[in-house]
Amino acid sequence: SAVISQKPSRDICQRGTSLTIQCQVDSQVTMMFWYRQQPGQSLTLIATANQGSEATYESGFVIDKFPISRPNLTFSTLTVSNMSPEDSSIYLCSVEDSSRAWGRATGELFFGEGSRLTVL
């Protein structure tokens, strides 16, 4: 298993500002994932953060809006830039279970507690 800590746990932000969310894992992991969970919605993957390379963004998400850093194997940041009320969401950091079952990845994800952003 993995223990994931996110900061801040919640914040209220003004329109047009940017906020950086930090994610710390208690073990070294190759990939870290950032999800968005809009109010009453399911999880949507924003991007995959690999150490030593640029993040891979999913359709509908761009680096200018959601820049990601991955300076080492235990830490990542997600910045929400030029925020608008539509960015009010819970942002979740996640890592994948490193164990294997019959040589295949288990696919299990471990999540941080999330960062709840409210944009006014």
Residues 31-90 that bind other proteins (CB under 8 A): 31, 33, 41-43, 45, 48, 56, 58
Q: Is 41 exposed, middle or buried (0-12, 13-18, 19+ CB in 10 A)?
A: exposed
Q: Token pair of 2, please?
A: 């993995």
Closer to other proteins at the Cβ: 33 or 66? 33
How far is Cα 18 from Cα 50, in angstroms, rounded to an integer?
22
Residue with Cβ nearer other proteins (66 or 110): 110
Instruction: Tell the residue number behind the tokens 């047009």, with chain if given.
Output: 16
Confirm if 58 and 9 have CB atoms less than 8 A apart: no
Q: Does 11 bind other proteins (CB under 8 A)?
A: no
Interaction between residue 96 and other proteins (CB under 8 A): yes
What are the residues binding other proteins (CB under 8 A)?
A: 4, 6, 31, 33, 41-43, 45, 48, 56, 58, 92, 94, 96, 101-102, 104-114, 116
